[in-house]
């Protein structure tokens, strides 16, 4: 099996990280993988914001918890009350993937960039986790100031994010794949 296919099959969401910052060359390789993702009409409608500042990561968690506390979703409400919850699972690096609001298909563009970065992270021996709560956190107009603090350009909204670091534990095996999810018509 090719290395690429093996990486795809072995990638898992990591939620427990070592207290060690990602090497600069590895971070740059992950970001470059995101830049080479496919995009609708080659618009490349994404913007990546890397956060490695511990205080800013803590602030991000507090903003997320404040937002979740107002949610109608019980799971999110429970996260807002959990003292151990950290939006990026204590990863030393977070990458926020924002999309241009005027792009043809910004959700697909940012998803492709996110997946490229997750696979690159695995290939480089890094752990990662796709965090999908960005639209919920940033749809709240009260959090608009935080987009500015993060340097997210005008006309871009956070869509995805990645917790990134070195895994504290070994990867678990992939759960069995669901059956009957493929049709082939010849």
The structural domains of the chain, ordered by start, are 20-165 (3.40.109.10)
CA 127 remoteness from chain centre: 12
What predicted TM-score, i.e. pTM, was given to this entire model?
A: 0.95
Tens-place pLDDT, residues 38-87: 999 999 999 999 999 999 999 999 999 999 999 999 999 999 999 999 99
Q: What pLDDT does residue 142 have?
A: 81
| High-pLDDT (> 90) share of the chain, % | 91
Three-state DSSP state, 149: helix
Q: What pLDDT does residue 158 have?
A: 98
Within 8 A by CB and 6+ apart from 166, the residues are 17, 18, 20, 22, 125, 126, 127
Indicate the helix (H) or strand (E) that contains 161: strand 156-165
CA 15 remoteness from chain centre: 12
Q: Pick 171 or 186 by higher pLDDT.
A: 186
Residue 170 has pLDDT above 80, yes or no: no
Torsion on CA atoms 149, 56, 90, 73, rounded to nearest 10: -50
pLDDT band at 173 (very low <50, low <70, confident <90, very high): confident
């Amino acid at each position: 099996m090719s290395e690429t296919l093996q990486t795809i099959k072995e990638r898992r969401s990591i939620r427990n990280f070592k207290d060690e910052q990602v090497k600069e060359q590895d971070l740059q390789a992950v970001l470059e993988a995101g830049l080479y993702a496919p995009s609708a009409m080659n618009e490349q409608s994404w913007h990546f914001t890397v956060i490695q500042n511990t205080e800013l990561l803590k602030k991000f968690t507090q903003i997320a918890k404040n937002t979740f506390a107002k949610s109608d979703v019980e799971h999110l409400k429970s996260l807002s009350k959990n003292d151990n919850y950290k939006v990026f699972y204590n990863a030393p690096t977070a990458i926020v993937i924002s999309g241009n609001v005027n792009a043809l298909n910004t959700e697909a563009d940012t998803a492709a960039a996110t997946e490229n970065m997750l696979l690159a992270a695995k290939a480089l021996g890094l752990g990662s986790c796709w965090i999908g709560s960005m639209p919920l956190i940033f749809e709240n107009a009260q959090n608009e100031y935080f987009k500015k603090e993060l340097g997210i350009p005008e006309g871009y909204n956070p869509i995805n994010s990645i917790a990134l670091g070195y895994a504290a534990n070994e990867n678990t095996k992939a759960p069995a794949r669901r059956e009957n999810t493929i049709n082939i018509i010849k």
